[in-house]
């Protein structure tokens, strides 16, 4: 068989691992695909650096020439970011070359356009590595659960923030201290915003929501809140109430709409995601017939990401050998996106209050006046000053926000120190606005 010729755009950590994996597994891969896989062209910014590539690989800094080369059958995009990656992927698809990418930002931002281009060209566009690294989640949602109805996807989608929150939990430490240490150890970037402000997780949540609900979810439709505001006190209160604090990406279908959000969350300790610690990622799926499923593994790193990239390469290459392509991503439902103001969840609220007669009653009234009912109260304090912890029943985000505004103006409330959402057991119709 003629080899399948691969053009690689970008050759950093993941690219190098991909090249190594393709070489180490060459015989197995050829047997699985029905043809050998050969990297023929690699585009990098700096062509002078030695990357240990085979001698017959053409190294160039002209990425577009690789994306459209006549002697490239399949393009692997590992450049990252929106530009020029987007133009490169579009050019490859337009040239009828299947594309494998690990670029979550690109898929989240321009997925609709790229899917349409792939469908028009009749070629594959695969991106298993873009979400949760080595964990097979895109393919199971696309294929294995294609006959089921997914109602909810909840994921720990960012290893850096999970590492930071795990250390804050284990050590009782503050965010700033753990972040600084994580940066020193190389677990967090010098500019940590993509991770700690939830951008990375939001892009992945948008991609998962799109597949789970057959709907285009623009990544700016994802409600996003990072972990900078999480305090050691929040984590300690969570522990005492039976929760752990995790940064979750949550995509759900509610009354024919899709809601997608990323925020730090009180998660019950007996939830399957609660024990996913350190830099691990995990995705929990609820489907009507399948019930609860969980997928867990390494969410980042050269080798784990390359494992997912090569899995996609193998499937796309098999299709090339057979002159076919996999099914495109279906967008046949295209549900409207529900803004978070119209979502119902439980909330944890931490108040700094005067420990004086009537204060608790006034606070309870404030919740009640806004239609938010209280499930749990915990008060601690001394000498006229107290911390009041409240956990609400399910309430509309809009109502909770109005409650918080009113609490700020309630006599006896010194400060609303924290507000965090609580992920609770779902029940049929439990997310519905109609139950308000």
Annotated catalytic residues are 204
What are the residues whose beta carbons fall under 8 Å from the beta carbon of 259, sequence distance 6 or more?
223, 250, 251, 252, 253, 337, 338, 339, 340, 342, 343
The answer to whether 25 contacts its own copies (rule: CB under 8 A) is yes
Shortest distance, position 249 Cβ to its own copies, whole Å: 18
> Measured from the CB atom, is 84 or 301 closer to its own copies?
301
Instruction: Determine phi and psi for 172, rounding to 5 degrees.
Output: 65, 25
248 binds its own copies (CB under 8 A): no
Residues 302-321 interacting with its own copies (rule: CB under 8 A): 303-304, 306-315, 318
134 interacts with its own copies by CB under 8 A: yes
Query: Using CA atoms, how far apart are residues 261 and 284, in angstroms rounded to an integer?
Result: 15
Give the three-state DSSP class for 277. coil
Residue 149 binds to its own copies (criterion: CB under 8 A): yes
Given a contact cutoff of 8 angstroms between Cβ atoms, the answer to whether 150 and 212 are in contact is: yes
Give the residue with the Cβ less far from its own copies, 179 or 287: 287
Rounded Cα distance between 225 and 196, Å, is 9
> Using the rule CB under 8 A, is 120 a contact of its own copies?
no
CB of 336 vs its own copies, minimal distance in Å: 17
175 and 161 Cβ atoms separated by less than 8 Å: no
Near its own copies in 370-429, by CB under 8 A: none
Report whether 252 contacts 277 (CB < 8 A): no
Contact between 201 and 262 (Cβ < 8 Å) = yes
| 429 CB-contact burial (10 Å; exposed 0-12 / middle 13-18 / buried 19+) | exposed
Among 57, 82, 95, 294, binds its own copies (CB under 8 A): 294
Structure tokens at 239: 């522990």
Distance of closest approach, residue 64 Cβ to its own copies, in angstroms? 26
Smallest distance from its own copies to CB 294, Å: 4
User: Counting contacts by CB under 8 A, is residue 3 touching its own copies?
Assistant: no
DSSP track, 288-342: TTTEEEEEEEE-SSHHHHHHHHHHHHHHHHHHHHTT--------SS-PPBPPGGG
**Interacting residue with its own copies among 8, 21, 118, 179 (CB under 8 A):** 21
Task: Tell me if 135 contacts its own copies by CB under 8 A.
Answer: yes
Question: Based on CB atoms, which residue is closest to its own copies, 158 or 392?
Answer: 158
Q: Which of 5, 97, 298, 370 binds its own copies (CB under 8 A)?
A: 298
Residues at the interface with its own copies (CB under 8 A):
17, 21-22, 24-25, 28-29, 31-32, 34, 128, 134-136, 139-140, 143-149, 214, 272, 275, 287-298, 301, 303-304, 306-315, 318, 322, 324, 327, 330, 332-333
């Amino acid at each position: 068989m003629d080899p399948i010729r691969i053009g690689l755009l970008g050759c950093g950590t993941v690219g190098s691992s991909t090249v190594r994996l393709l070489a180490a597994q060459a015989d197995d891969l050829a047997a699985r695909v029905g043809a050998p896989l050969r990297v023929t062209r690699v585009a990098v910014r700096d062509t002078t650096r030695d990357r240990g590539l085979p001698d017959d690989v053409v190294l160039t800094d002209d990425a577009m020439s690789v994306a459209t080369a006549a002697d490239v059958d399949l393009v692997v995009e590992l450049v990252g970011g929106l530009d020029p990656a987007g133009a490169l992927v579009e050019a490859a698809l337009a040239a009828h070359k299947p594309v494998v990418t690990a670029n979550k930002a690109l898929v989240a931002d321009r997925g609709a356009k790229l899917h349409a281009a792939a469908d028009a060209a009749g070629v594959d566009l695969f991106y298993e590595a873009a979400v949760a690294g080595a964990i097979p989640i895109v393919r199971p949602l696309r294929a294995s659960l294609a006959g089921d109805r997914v109602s909810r996807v909840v994921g720990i989608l960012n290893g850096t923030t999970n590492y930071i929150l795990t250390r804050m939990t284990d050590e009782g430490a503050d965010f700033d201290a753990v972040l600084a240490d994580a940066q020193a150890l190389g677990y967090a970037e010098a500019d940590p915003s993509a991770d700690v402000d939830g951008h990375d997780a939001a892009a992945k949540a948008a991609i998962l929501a799109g597949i789970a609900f057959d709907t285009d979810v623009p990544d700016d439709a994802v409600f996003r809140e990072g972990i900078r505001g999480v305090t050691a006190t929040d984590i300690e209160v969570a522990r005492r109430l039976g929760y752990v604090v995790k940064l979750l990406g949550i995509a759900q279908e509610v009354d024919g709409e899709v809601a997608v959000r990323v925020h730090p969350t009180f998660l019950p300790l007996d939830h399957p995601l609660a024990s996913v610690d350190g830099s691990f990622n995990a995705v929990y799926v609820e489907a009507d017939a399948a019930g609860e499923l969980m997928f867990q593994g390494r969410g980042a790193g050269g080798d784990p990401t390359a494992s997912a990239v090569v899995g996609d390469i193998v499937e796309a290459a098999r299709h090339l050998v057979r002159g076919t392509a996999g099914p495109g991503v279906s967008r046949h439902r295209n549900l409207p996106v529900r803004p978070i103001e119209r979502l119902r969840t439980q909330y944890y609220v931490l108040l700094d209050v005067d420990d004086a007669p009537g204060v608790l009653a006034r606070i309870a009234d404030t919740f009640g006046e806004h239609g938010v009912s209280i499930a749990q109260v915990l008060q601690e304090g001394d000498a006229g000053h107290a911390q009041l912890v409240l956990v609400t029943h399910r309430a509309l985000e809009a109502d909770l926000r109005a409650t918080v505004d009113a609490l700020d103006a309630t006599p006896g409330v010194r400060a609303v120190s924290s507000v965090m959402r609580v992920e609770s057991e779902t029940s049929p119709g439990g997310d519905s606005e109609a139950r308000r």
